[in-house]
Amino acid sequence: MKPAWRDGNRIELLENGEAFFPAVFAAIDEAKDKVFLETFIWFEDKVGKELHRAILGAARRGVSVEVLLDGYGSPDLSDDFVNQLTSAGVKFRYYDPRPPLLGMRTNVFRRMHRKIVVIDGELAFVGGINYSAEHMSDYGPEAKQDYAVRVQGPVVQDIYAFVLQNLPGHEEMRRWWGRRRHQAQDNNAPGEAQALFVWRDNDDHRDDIERYYLKMLANAKQEVIIANAYFFPGYRLLHAMRNAARRGVCVKLIVQGEPDMPIVKVGARLLYNYLVKGGVEVYEYLRRPLHGKVAVMDDHWATVGSSNLDPLSLSLNLEANLIIHDRTFNQTLHDNLMQLIEKDCQQVDETLMPKRTWWNLTKSVVAFHFLRHFPALVGWLPAHTPRLSLVEPPVQPEMETQDRVETDNPGAKF
């Protein structure tokens, strides 16, 4: 499967849990045939319980429901919580579940970091929002600022085909959906947006998302705004940002000023001198932790997704973004990001940049090159092939005890 631009889509920006969760839960409640959900985090809190209710209700009324969770991001769901779903017929899988070693999770690398929902092959959600109360404003000062999109139109067919491609037991449906996708007509297109679904895996699409960022920066004429939670890319993207700024493009970068992990701020600040001296405007978002992974360029290009611009997302994790050509959507996201800059950000100036001493320069060079080569260093660790593990329904008392988890042969490339 190769990414392709699709015309005739309707795309709605969803900001934070207040907009995202009601839209997803309502779509699941209205599903008639199939629900597919992939996510990195699903917590057993008030948001997770509401998702549980929606999925359980869909399964009980006969909807085919499949869930894929990351084994690192969602390791603590209780047996009762999961068993209620599997008993109702939900196919519940973990990506690369592995037992702790000395109390520590060992599946830290190559995570399934995507956040995708597909409803009946006709409606999809893509973004960076996990299923946890941390994404609701009433969570408090640690509530996350984040984004997703609600999508209708031909690109949903590509998202659906991608989800099927990565799950076992859908060979016939994949062939049928491929024929339907090629036969689809745009006569009743729900919108006017062009959209491209792109992803990152550890096989044929290792750098697709980064390449589209680089292409966007090379084509920018007037303005670029990038808001990214975990920002520590390699030379190519940093160089592309400086090049755009030097040829007169107004390049704005929004990073975390109140991060959920302190190391995030330390890493980003190592790049401030390089970027600011090159003409890039850098802003620290101070209202709360920034978890978004979005960007806009000029008046028509935008992206929303799960991919950070750091070594994990760009080189190891499984990620998915939607790239959008649409002036109305671009304006909506642009206005949102400008409001963040004007109300809740401080611009990085000389007072916030590390002093240019030999000691700070040495630390920056060492840290930068360590993180730049981090994916290669991870490659030295003992190799393993991530697997999908299906959680079986609970065993009835009269039946013999059997293993709760069986391993699928997904036949997909991770």
Catalytically active residues are 113, 115, 120, 291, 293, 298
Among 25, 21, 224, which residue's Cα sits nearest to residue 129?
Answer: 21
Query: What is the distance between the alpha carbons of residues 142 and 131, in angstroms, rounded to a whole number?
Result: 15
Among 97, 1, 177, which residue's Cα sits nearest to residue 404?
Answer: 97
Radius of gyration of the chain (CA): 22
125 Cβ contact partners less than 8 Å away, ≥ 6 residues apart: 14, 20, 23, 24, 27, 115, 116, 117, 148, 149, 150, 151
Query: What is the distance between the alpha carbons of residues 174 and 159, in angstroms, rounded to a whole number?
Result: 12
Query: What is the distance between the alpha carbons of residues 406 and 392, in angstroms, rounded to a whole number?
Result: 7
Pairing of strands 281-285, 250-256: parallel
Among 13, 8, 2, which residue's Cα sits nearest to residue 335?
Answer: 13
Query: What is the distance between the alpha carbons of residues 412 and 142, in angstroms, rounded to a whole number?
Result: 37
Q: What are phi and psi of 193, to 5 degrees?
A: -80, 140
Q: 64-85 burial string, b = 16+ CB within 10 Å, else e?
A: ebbbbbbbbbbbebeeeebbbb
Burial class (CB in 10 A: 0-12, 13-18, 19+), 223: middle
